[in-house]
Structure 1
Amino acid sequence: MTDFAGIQAFIEVARAGGFRTASRATGLSASSLSDAVKRLEAGMGVRLLNRTTRTVTPTRAGADMLDRLAPLLAEFEAALDIANDYRGTPSGTLTLNVPVNTARLVLPRILPSFADAYPDIRVEVVVNDSFVDILAAGCDAGIRYGERLEKDMIAVPIGPRRQRFATAASPAYLKRRGRPEHPSDLLGHACLSGRFDSGALATWEFERDGEVLRIEPAGPLTVHVTAIDLAVSVAIAGNGIVQLFEDWLLPAFESGDLVPVLEPWWQSFPGPFLYYPGKEHIPAPLRAFIDFTRRHRW
Structure 2
Amino acid sequence: MRVGLEDLQAVIVVAQAGGFREAARSISSSPSRLSDAVRRAESRLGVRLFHRTTRSVVPTDAGRALLERLTPAMTEVASALDAVNVFRDRPAGTLRLHVPVSASRLVLPHLVPGFLMQYPDIQLDIVADSNVVNIFEAGCDAGIRYEECLEQDMIAVPIGPRVQRFAVAAAPAYLRRYGRPGHPHELLDHRCLLGKYSTGRLPEWEFEKDGEVIRVRPSGPLTVSIGAAVDLAVDAAVQGVGIIQLFEQWLTPYLQDGSLEPVLEPWWLSFSGPFLYYPDRRLVPAPLRAFIEHVREQNRASGGVRS
TM-score, normalised by the number of residues in structure 2: 0.90
**Alignment partner of 1:5: what SS?**
helix
Aligned-partner SS, 2:97: strand
CA shift for structure 1 position 63: 4.8
Per the alignment, residue 224 of structure 1 pairs with: 225
1:262 aligns with 2:264: yes
How has the CA–CA distance of structure 1 residues 269 and 120 changed in structure 2, closer, same or farther, with 3 Å as cutoff? same
Q: Do the aligned partners of 2:145 and 2:276 also contact (CA within 8 Å) in 1?
A: yes
Q: Is the 8 A contact 2:17 2:137 kept in 1?
A: no
Q: After alignment, is 138-147 or 160-169 more displaced?
A: 138-147
User: 1:153-203: CA deviations, max 9, x gaps?
Assistant: 111100001100000001111100000000000000011111113321121
Q: Supply the distance in 2 between the matched residues of 1:285 and 1:27 (Cα, whole angstroms).
A: 18
Distance 1:6 1:267 in 2: 50
Quote the Cα distance in structure 2 between the aligned partners of 1:16 and 1:138: 8
Partner of 2:189: 188
Query: What residue is the counterpart of 2:208 in the other structure?
Result: 207
Paired residue for 1:69? 70
Provide the C-alpha distance between the structure 2 equivalents of 1:37 and 1:155, rounded to a whole number of angstroms: 35
Aligned-pair Cα RMSD in Å: 1.8
SS at match of 1:202: coil
AA aligned opposite 2:80: A
Instruction: For 2:236, give the aligned amino acid.
Output: V
Paired with 1:223 and 1:29, the residues of 2 have a C-alpha distance of 30
Secondary structure, counterpart of 2:173 in structure 1 = helix
Match of 2:297 among 285, 292, 295: 295
**Matched AA of 1:231:** A
AA partner of residue 247 (structure 1): Q
Answering whether residue 84 of structure 2 is matched by residue 83 of structure 1, we say yes
Q: Structure 2: how far apart are the matches of 1:68 and 1:250?
A: 50
Aligned-pair CA distance for 1:211: 0.4
In structure 2, how many angstroms separate the alpha carbons of the residues matched to 1:246 and 1:29? 39
Match of 2:276 in 1: 274
Deviations 1:47-104 (A, max 9, x none): 3334455x45223334554454333222221111000010000011111111111111
Distance 2:95 2:130 in 1: 19
Counterpart in the other structure of 2:148: 147
3-state SS in 2 of match to 1:213? strand
Shift in CA distance, 152/25, structure 1 to aligned 2, threshold 3 Å = closer
1:279–1:237 distance in 2 versus 1, CA, 3 Å: same
Alignment of 1:1-298 (within 5 A): 1-52=2-53, 55-61=55-61, 62-63=63-64, 65-226=66-227, 227-296=229-298, 297=302, 298=306
Aligned residue for 1:187, secondary structure, equals helix
The SS at the match of 1:181 is: coil
Q: Is the 8 A contact 2:116 2:122 kept in 1?
A: yes
State the SS of the aligned residue for 2:235.
helix
Do the aligned partners of 2:207 and 2:213 also contact (CA within 8 Å) in 1? Answer: yes
The alpha-carbon deviation at position 149 of structure 1 amounts to: 0.4
What letter corresponds to residue 176 of structure 1 in structure 2? R
Q: Which runs of 5+ in 2 are unaligned?
A: none
How many correspondences in the alignment? 297
- Quote the offset at 1:24 in angstroms: 4.7
Superposed CA deviations along residues 207-242 of structure 1, whole A, max 9, x for unmatched, are 000001011121111111021111111111111100
Cα distance in 2 for partners of 1:9, 1:159 equals: 35
Q: Does the 8 Å contact 1:103/1:127 carry over to 2?
A: yes
Provide TM-score, normalisation by structure 1: 0.93
Q: Percent identity?
A: 56
